[in-house]
Structure 1
Amino acid sequence: MASGLNESGKLTTLQSISLIIGFIVGVELFTLPREVVHAVKSADAWLSVILGGCVTLLLAWMMIRLARKFPGMNFYEFVQQIVGTWIGKMIGLVVIVYYIHLGSYEMRAMEEVTSFFLLEGTPWWAIQALFVWISLYLCMEGTDVIAKVCQIIVPITIVIYLLILLLGVKNFDVSTLRPFLSKGMSPVFHGMSTTTLAFSGSEIMLFILAKMEKPEKAVRIMGWGLGVAIVLYTTATILCIGAFTAEGVMTRVWPFFDLTRSVEVDNLPLERFESLLLSIWVLEIFATFNIAFYCAALGLSHVTKLSYARSLCILLPIMLIVSRVPRDINELFQLGRYIGKANLILFSGLSLILLLISRWRSKST
């Protein structure tokens, strides 16, 4: 356990599922339809989302197998046991850098969405300051409190999403999804690479399995959490294509948000229904940032032996600085693509290597 971090409670099954959904589903819901359609260049892009989710589930199963070999230990602890202290700490530092960039990306994306659609003209530092200070207070208590917050945020998010789904059906034109597989499966497979950022977060099992009340149900819990994310991303992509066509989706920066703005609400006391969606989704982005912030601070406390609280305070200004590096929205999206690729290499590839090494060492002894 990290110094200064008191996590006596265990995560229930529902809290674990909420934590997974809260980490995976974030700002990518607004951008994934454009990214995947741009890669596939046809209305078959939703197939890439489903296949990408299925591959992620297989990779998550591998990570769970790795974490189960070291009960009671998180990733930063057992990686040092597998490859040695110094190499383990170097790997830990790389993972910390990854989570710094992921947290900074989510923070900047939240600021871009909020300042453009909700609080136009508000200085960026005013938006981010409130965001990070609340997150700092929340993360001080570790996964116990973060999971409880996700348990509140996730159901509300799903309800709002389902409402948008029902109201958006009237703008849906099924003919825009045809012809089916007009260009074959090759573009669909190519489009799977764009889903890496959207489904990044399944590696959370490497960090929370030791804290789960029923770790033997980890695969089922991941199945539920990732399954919800797959459904949300797939339906969002299908709805955007159905409303705007594949060509129209590629020209929009935030296609799912534009879909929400096209929804007409006649019998609800809301003049701007999209404001409700954004208000709720900012909380979802907040949840994603909190978990990335926690994972980075947990790693820093293990690698450097600093207290967990001090690690949080050190990382906070670093994340703020990194979040300002992208000069515009295009550079921010490019950063997101790099993060998605890094997640695939860092956790999928590394987990496979660590699993093979641990099995080899267990057989040799």
Structure 2
Amino acid sequence: MPPALCALCKTERALIKRPKNHQKLCKGCFIQIFEDEVHHTIISSNLFFPGEKVAVGASGGKDSTVLASVLKTLNERHHYGVDLVLLSIDEGIKGYRDDSLETVKRNAVQYDMPLKIVGYDELYGWTMDQVVETIGKKGNCTYCGVFRRQALDRGAKILGIKHVVTGHNADDVAETVLMNLLRGDLPRLSRSTSIVTGSDASEVKRSKPLKYSYEKEIVLYAHHKKLDYFSTECIYSPEAFRGSARSLIKNLEKVRPSAILDVVRSGEDMARLVPGATQDSCRCDGKPASHQAAADDDNIGGCGSANGRTNGGEMAAMEKRLRENEAAEAGELETEITVTKIEVQRHDRPNQTNGQPKTPGTNLPVRLKQKLGTCEKCGYMSSQKLCQACMLLEGLNKNRPEITL
């Protein structure tokens, strides 16, 4: 039997079977379509603007290394006009982070990008080695996660940058969606599935250009591009809840290759139904990029469109149509009454006005929004007097052994 030909170019021998849709591609077409899908995500979501200075969160791992490489390539090819900088966080983990930072330093030379390294020790006075020595391995990821998020923002502020891109991929987002569903935490879906996080009140915007890219394809891209990356897992990473979600996602992927993007799209749809939540996702309505249009009907585009699947937003659209239909039917038989002002009952007052009890159902619950301010101790943005990092540091400092001279 002759070797299979590439499904796109029809001339070169197929060497790669895409994990996303089992499409057989040659090396050149796979690299091209991977880059085109990331470009499609960037353009359809309006992630960048000309002249913007963007920090790439670089850990030395496969995701951030591929992200830096792809962004450099696309920036030059499509003339984004973006100034890219590598920003790394040194958690202070000997035998892990110190080795991965050496990879980041090589990447900075290879990609000709400036590099800024910010350490936990200089920001918080603690390294993760010291934290684990104090509290043990259980729960240490909570400390590291809070410190790292704040460290990225602080590092960006030092560089005068207001946009940080991270290497979160489709597998990461799907795992987070499942974790929030299993916890019953639907309000968090909006933040976890959004391709852009942050608001006008936030100092730093975060975005995920690799949101619709499979982890396996990121590894394939790094392999065939011969990228230099660090592959060792964190030595303090415990068997957390995310590990269970990851195993479930991988099992689903074996049965249905599109399962990862299906979960991501379902999470986006459900996030749109959460009252008061805003969803920022790929705005292409599932339309594939140029290379995907040339592929067969089973192809999955950069944003997760596929044959036999819808393009996202169907649940919200269906509810809207139902409301419109109900309003139209009611309009034939009833007179519409428009309420221009609603008096909201305060919880500290009795349910009455001028001594007369109010009719049940006239009071609507109020969803109070948190007011974003700054931490009294470090000045970092926080809705409380102290930010999460400072609260954790208070507990650590209480347990810090005193040094006697």
TM-score band by shorter chain is under 0.3
Q: Which has the higher contact order (CA 8 A, sep 6+)?
A: 1
TM-score (norm 1): 0.25
Higher helix share: 1
Higher strand share: 2
